Amino acid sequence: DEAQLEAGFQATIDRKDRIEPRDWMPDAYRRTLVRQVAQHAHSEIIGMQPEGSWIGRAPSLRRKAILLAKVQDEAGHGLYLYSATETLGVSRDELTEMLISGRQKYSSIFNYPALSYADVGTIGWLVDGAAICNQVPLCRTSFGPYGRAMIRICKEESFHQRQGYELLMTMMRGTDEQRAMVQESVNRFWKPALMMFGPPDAESANTEQSMAWGIKTHTNDELRARFIEMTAPQAEALGVTLPDNELDWDEFWTVVKGGGPCNEQRIAHRKQAWDDGAWVREAAAAFAGLDTSSPRG
Ligand code: FAQ
């Protein structure tokens, strides 16, 4: 019966084993995972936009090739994560509709614009850096497909972080104007990057239950503190200063609820791409429905 199934499920989690798609799981566990993994997938896809806007304006062929590859990796991460979400019984089409209609979220960070080329470096260093801090522990999350996707994603994110740092290092060795551009960029991105970890623990509605289920293994504030600790010496080596860590949580909630600088633009762009791709999906479905094995004379 249900109680027995639930006890077996919790025992699997308590011995740090994985829950797999065909295993019994409580509805609320499934819903929480769909929420988190879909939000994560949407973040990767929407996250292509700020840096993507610089592909056509990269300062050299080498920088353009690097940026193009990084943005493509993000598309790949989105796809692994949509596949992981599909194992929970929701289709990618449904997930995309939920993103476009605002029923599912994506990370607050991607509602800030990339205003200068230094932002490409800062996004790699700070945004991918924060993503790694949050995601390395998720490699051991209790749901198998999510944890396995995280392993590969984290390897690629580490590479992304280094390319961002290398870009900034190159600019810091340049002119005073370039150094000022890096500092200005870091000033704008530092606080939004710290907010990626989610609200303070006291305001985090989901953490307690998600930790009991082994979905999350650390609280938002723990990971935020770990990130600050990791980043401070890197800032020093780079020669930039980090703004203080006082965060404006009203700003965070405004951005999460749709009122950030780029929320409308990000969703409008995604919706346009989804609408433009309708004919491809229809053609693929029609092709899949054809009996291509039959002899045609
Ligand atoms: N933005 O109770 P909690 C990347 C929502 S990295 C927007 O603490 P939870 C790589 C939260 O959903 C970015 N909403 O929630 C890349 C909840 O609302 P709900 C993606 C946020 O889930 C780099 C409410 O606030 N990474 O894409 C945010 O326990 C460069 C209360 O919060 C992930 O998604 C936020 N920052 O903890 C790509 C990592 N924070 O859903 C391109 C996986 C919280 O109840 C370029 N996710 N909310 O309506 C997680 O680890 C967790 O979901 C947290 C939030 C830690 C984000």
Q: Which of 34, 39, 213 to mutate to test the pocket of ligand 1 (most atoms within 8 A of CB)?
A: 39
- Which string of DSSP letters, residue by residue, matches 1-68? -HHHHHHHHHHHHHTTPPB-TTS---HHHHHHHHHHHHHHHHHHHHTHHHHHTTGGG-SSHHHHHHHH
pLDDT digit of tens for each residue in the chain (297 aa)?
A: 889 999 999 999 999 999 999 999 999 999 999 999 999 999 999 999 999 999 999 999 999 999 999 999 999 999 999 999 999 999 999 999 999 999 999 999 999 999 999 999 999 999 999 999 999 999 999 999 999 999 999 999 999 999 999 999 999 999 999 999 999 999 999 999 999 999 999 999 999 999 999 999 999 999 999 999 999 999 999 999 999 989 999 999 999 999 999 999 999 999 999 999 999 999 999 999 887 676 654
Is the torsion defined by CA of 111, 113, 117, 122 positive or negative?
negative
* Tokens of residue 200, six digits: 């303070």
Comparing CA positions, the residue from 29, 34, 25, 33 lying closest to residue 7 is 25
Q: 91 Cβ partners below 8 Å, 6+ apart? A: none
Close Cβ partners of 174 (under 8 Å, ≥ 6 residues apart): none
What is the position in ligand 1's atom list of the atom closest to the CA of 51?
46
3-state secondary structure 109-127: HHHCCCCCCHHHHHHHHHH
pLDDT at position 294: 64
Residue 60 backbone phi and psi in degrees, to 5? -155, 165
Distance CA 76, CA 96 (A): 16
Residues near ligand 1 with C-beta < 6 Å?
35-36, 39-40, 43-44, 47, 74, 105, 107-108, 123, 127-128, 131, 134, 195-199, 204-207, 210, 216, 220, 256
Cα-to-centroid distance, 184 and ligand 1 (Å)? 26
Q: In whole angstroms, what is the distance from residue 249 CA to residue 243 CA?
A: 16
Q: Pick the atom of ligand 1 nearest to 47's CA.
A: 42
Q: Rounded to whole angstroms, what are the CA distances from 155 to 52, 149, 256?
A: 21, 11, 28
- State CA 297 to chain mean position distance: 51
Q: Which residues partner with 143 through β-bridges?
A: 19
The question of ipTM being above 0.95 is answered as yes
| H-helix segments, 203-243 | 207-212, 220-238
CA angle 36, 140, 198 (to 5 degrees): 40
198 CA closest ligand 1 atom index: 40
Residue nearest to atom 20 of ligand 1 (CA): 40
Please report, for residues 84, 198, 234, the alpha-carbon distance to residue 229 in angstroms, rounded to integers and kept in the order given: 31, 17, 9
In testing the pocket of ligand 1, which one of 108, 165, 204 has its CB within 8 Å of the most ligand atoms? 204
Residue of the nearest CA to atom 52 in ligand 1? 36
State the pLDDT at residue 297. 43
Rounded CA separation 98/180 (Å): 41
Sign for the pseudo-dihedral over CA of 199, 257, 130, 211: positive
